[in-house]
Amino acid sequence: MNCAQQIPFPYSSSPSSSFFFYYIYITQDSPLLLFNITKHAFTMECCILSKLKTQPLWLLILFALGSFALLRFSLIFLNWVYVNFLRPPKNLKKYGSWALVTGPTDGIGKAFAFELARKGLNLVLVGRSPEKLKAVSDEITSKFQAKTTVKTIVVDFSGDLSSGVERIKEGIEGLDVGVVVNNVGVSYPYARFFHEVDEGLLSNLIKVNIEGTTKVTQAVLPGMLQRKKGAIVNIGSGAAIVIPSDPLYAVYAASKAYVDQFSRCLYVEYKKSGIDVQCQVPLYVATKMASIRRSSFFVPSTDGYAKAGVRWIGYEPRCTPYWPHTLLWALAYSLPESVVDAWRLRFCLGIRKRGQLKDSRKNE
């Protein structure tokens, strides 16, 4: 036999040995190589089985459960690595050449508009302020020049929503709107108990966060069904999904829980029609709504979040696109709910105290 190389492999013929070696001769005779590998593998298997037979049943059950848990964790971790770092984004132009974004004049919505324009999509921007819409439109047009066409539609989601939705339907008529980002939303000025929420704020939370998302989605669905393709992204919140409760923000958290369940139901309803519905669940992002000015590792800028968010469009029905947020989600999930509730209540009471102090200074 003409040996080319010897390679050591771990092996033991004795159950008491911890480390061992055997040699496989790599030759030009590949069937012999395969035979050697098979023989040694079979010997190892017999050795392991004979060792296991001498162990008590409880230890075997514990070993099996541990092996299953390790396998499950390994698969979850590998999937997490793949979807966050290796999975390619979808070609959004396959959904259509136009994207509609609500609340695009600031924060996450504006960042989404720029990121979608960077992907080569034309934009329909839907917001309340004509001046701000024009400013964002001019900024996008200036940056991407002839690459992107921008249309604007003025809708006050806290006002007459019926007439606003009709303007949306008229504005998108004849356009192959393939991507919709329902970003528009409002929150509390600062944390407060439910009995302290005035009628105006309560009405705005329900109209903007729930009715706005619902009716815009209903307005764009017929065109997507006709073309048998589309992607709808509804911006949810970690306040409704990641933590067990969000005290002093009860109505906001509840409205975002509606968005999550609404998205999941539509995902199931329309998946076979070629329409991908998704609820994105960000935690804290550096926005005016969150009252956070500086970004950090766990608090992305709006641009950082939008880049991650666009990568996830068309995939899972619920996702947290910014990967450090998934670490916080895992931490919250691993703690007892009572611990998270107590921490969150203390945190929100601090926000309430600072907000009341700020209001008192304004009234002086």
284 classed as catalytic: no
Considering 95, 188, 190, 252, which one is annotated as catalytic?
A: 252
Laid out side by side, the sheet with 230-235 consists of 150-154, 122-127, 98-102, 177-182, 230-235, 275-280, 318-319
Instruction: Judge contact between 131 and 152, C-beta under 8 A.
Output: no
Report the residue count for the chain.
364
**Cα 250 to chain centroid, rounded:** 22
Distance CA 26, CA 34 (A): 10
Distance CA 305, CA 112 (A): 9
Residues whose CB is less than 8 angstroms from the CB of residue 314 and which lie 6 or more positions away in sequence, other chains included:
90, 92, 95, 231, 276, 278
**Both tokens assigned to 88:** 């390619």
Rg (C-alpha) for the chain, rounded Å, is: 28
Measuring CA to CA, how many Å separate 316 from each of 233, 300, 331?
Answer: 11, 21, 21
Residue among 207, 202, 218 at smallest CA distance from 184: 207
User: Which residue type, as a one-letter code, is found at position 229?
Assistant: K
Distance CA 163, CA 240 (A): 30
- 291, burial (CB in 10 Å: exposed 0-12, middle 13-18, buried 19+): middle
DSSP string over 103-147: STTSHHHHHHHHHHHHTT-EEEEEES-HHHHHHHHHHHHHHHGGG
Q: Which residues are annotated as catalytic?
A: 252
